[in-house]
Amino acid sequence: MTVNLLDFDADGLSAWFAEQGEKPFRARQVLRWMHRFGEADFDAMTDIAKSLRDKLKAKAVVAPPAVVSDKVSGDGTRKFLFDVGGGNAVETVFIPEDDRGTLCVSTQAGCALDCAFCSTGKQGFNRNLTVAEIIGQLWQANRALGADPKGERIISNVVLMGMGEPLANFDNTVKALRLMLDDNAYGLSRRRVTVSTSGLVPAMDQLREACPVALAVSLHAPNDKLRDELVPINKKYPIAELMAACRRYLEKAPRDFVTFEYVMLDGINDTDAHARELLAATRGVPCKFNLIPFNPFPGSPFRRSQPERVRRFAEILMVAGIITTTRKTRGDDIDAACGQLAGQVQDKTRRTAGRTFPLQEVRH
Ligand code: SAH
Ligand code: SF4
């Protein structure tokens, strides 16, 4: 059987090489070729003996998911759509800023958690992405973005905030994270790799032990009644338990705060009273807030909060001493904004029965 070497983290690759009777340093060399230099052709791995290259060619491939579309927005945001088989596609977004370049990566085709305001959730769940499909997004984006003439990293940050819930695809996500951090692969700092979760409490505890990186938590509501509606997983892991998990996570996290994401929904969760309730709910958790203006998609019942409302909401948090940023909506001309990642996914859960997807993708 042919194996895809992009499915292995460093330990997995060493183990596979050992099974082939090859030394660990050979695995490291191949890891570097694949991930540091973006090489998929064994024959181009010039410091590997011909006999080993022939063996690799017979037994293995380096196969990232294929790019099916690649679009650049007016603001420089670039969106890649990847084929992940079976008629499914997932999206990856590159967001250039003055001091960094952030790649927003997907971890599942669809998502089972069905948050009320999320187009991925509305597509239902299809399947977990493989390690090769997760790390392959970074592999392909690196290649497409090309080398920086000054030798600086083009992709300096990765956020797992694309389609899917990373902690619901735990093992593959952790292997991909390890590759992102590995000096023989992408060598990113733990502080510059962020997992975003809707609050899977047991998996947050596991992540803290397995591979602590920066953490963002999608909070979106200040009390359980509202959060139960907006983020249904709250019924299983309510806010008090989630806050306790955040505090435990911070014991081992590379940063000393959690980022709470909060989508601003007009008239739903955006009043002064909600902001004050939020301060009480998050008391005792070192945190920052990132307010996300809601990005509408066809069929969604919500409206984006007015800018003045967002400003006032942020002010209440700031006056209480919590650093609060408001996410600029970027890439919305190419449907690359948060929650608009509407790649084509076959809905195995039939959540969308009677509706047609893709929502927006085919318009371009
Ligand atoms: N499943 C993970 C990560 C992917 S979603 C999570 O929920 O955290 C990434 C972020 O985009 C989350 O904070 C999510 O709540 C937000 N988001 C989803 N739909 C959105 C929309 N329509 N407008 C703005 N943000 C949205
Ligand atoms: Fe899934 Fe995150 Fe969307 Fe909720 S917001 S449905 S957890 S991708």
Overall average pLDDT of the 58-63 stretch: 98
Task: Give domain 3-61's CATH architecture.
Answer: Orthogonal Bundle (1.10)
pLDDT at 351: 56
Please list the residues that pair with 217 across neighbouring strands.
197, 260
Ligand with an atom nearest the CA of residue 234: 2
122 Cα nearest atom in ligand 2: 6
User: For residues 260-273, b (16+ Cβ closer than 10 Å) or e, as one string?
Assistant: bbbbbbeebbbbee
Backbone angles phi, psi at 217, to 5 degrees: -120, 130
pLDDT at 328: 83
Q: Is the CB of 218 under 6 A from ligand 1?
A: yes
Protein residue with least CA distance to atom 8, ligand 1: 197
Interval between CA 339 and ligand 1 midpoint (Å): 5
pLDDT at 358: 30
165 Cα nearest atom in ligand 1: 1
Interval between CA 110 and ligand 2 midpoint (Å): 9
**In whole numbers, what is the pLDDT of the chain averaged over residues?**
91
Q: Give tens-digit pLDDT for 122-165.
A: 889 999 999 999 999 999 999 999 866 566 679 999 999 999 99
What is the pLDDT confidence band of residue 345, given thresholds at 50, 70 and 90?
Answer: low
Overall average pLDDT of the 84-107 stretch: 94
pLDDT at 362: 24
3-class secondary structure, 260: strand
Q: Give tens-digit pLDDT for 161-186.
A: 999 999 999 999 999 999 999 999 99
Overall average pLDDT of the 44-57 stretch: 96
Q: Which two tokens stand for residue 197?
A: 């979760």
Interval between CA 341 and ligand 2 midpoint (Å): 11
CATH node for 66-334: 3.20.20.70
Which of 64-73, 142-151, 247-256 shows the lowest mean pLDDT across its residues? 142-151
pLDDT at 150: 62
pLDDT at 356: 32
pLDDT at 60: 98
The proportion of the chain whose per-residue pLDDT surpasses 90, expressed as a percent, equals: 84
d(CA 139, CA 132): 9
Q: Is the CB of 121 under 6 A from ligand 2?
A: yes
Please, what sign has the CA dihedral across residues 69, 75, 76, 79? negative
Interval between CA 42 and ligand 2 midpoint (Å): 38
Question: Would 3-61 and 66-334 be classified into the same CATH topology?
Answer: no
Is the per-residue pLDDT at 359 higher than 90?
no
Is the per-residue pLDDT at 331 higher than 90?
no
Q: Is the CB of 135 under 6 A from ligand 2?
A: no
Is the per-residue pLDDT at 262 higher than 70?
yes
Overall average pLDDT of the 323-341 stretch: 75
Interval between CA 60 and ligand 2 midpoint (Å): 34
Q: Is the CB of 340 under 6 A from ligand 2?
A: no
DSSP 130: P
Q: Is the CB of 52 under 6 A from ligand 2?
A: no
Residue of 91, 128, 161 to test ligand 1 pocket, by largest number of atoms within 8 Å of CB: 161
pLDDT at 363: 24
Overall average pLDDT of the 193-214 stretch: 98
For residues 140 and 67, the answer to whether their CB atoms sit within 8 Å is: yes
User: For residues 94-128, b (16+ Cβ closer than 10 Å) or e, as one string?
Assistant: bbeeeeebbbbbbbbbbbbbbbbbbbbbbbbbbbb
- Region for 110 from its dihedrals, namely left if φ exceeds 0, alpha if ψ lies in -120 to 50, beta otherwise: left
pLDDT at 159: 98
Point out the catalytic residue in the list 91, 133, 261, 361.
Answer: 91
**Catalytic residue flag (residue 338):** yes
Which of 155-164, 176-185, 196-205, 323-332 shows the lowest mean pLDDT across its residues? 323-332
3-class secondary structure, 234: helix
114 Cα nearest atom in ligand 2: 6
For residues 274 and 267, the answer to whether their CB atoms sit within 8 Å is: no
By CB atoms closer than 10 A (0-12, 13-18, 19+), residue 254 is middle
Is the per-residue pLDDT at 72 higher than 70?
yes
C-alpha pair distances (Å), 89 with each of 6, 9, 61, 286: 19, 24, 21, 37
**Pairing of the two strands 108-110 and 101-104:** unpaired
Interval between CA 3 and ligand 2 midpoint (Å): 31
Q: DSSP assignment of 12-73, as one string? A: HHHHHHHHTT--HHHHHHHHIIIIIS----GGG-TTS-HHHHHHHHHHEE--PPEEEEEEE-
Q: Is the CB of 339 under 6 A from ligand 1?
A: yes
What is the pLDDT confidence band of residue 355, given thresholds at 50, 70 and 90?
Answer: very low
Overall average pLDDT of the 206-218 stretch: 98
Domain parsing of the chain, residue ranges: 3-61, 66-334
**Catalytic residue flag (residue 91):** yes
Is the per-residue pLDDT at 330 higher than 90?
no
Q: Is the CB of 114 under 6 A from ligand 2?
A: yes
Q: DSSP assignment of 288-334, as one string? A: EEEEEE----TT----BPPHHHHHHHHHHHHHTT--EEEPPP-SGGG
For the entire predicted model, the pTM comes to: 0.93
- Region for 330 from its dihedrals, namely left if φ exceeds 0, alpha if ψ lies in -120 to 50, beta otherwise: beta
Protein residue with least CA distance to atom 5, ligand 1: 161
Q: Is the CB of 121 under 6 A from ligand 1?
A: no
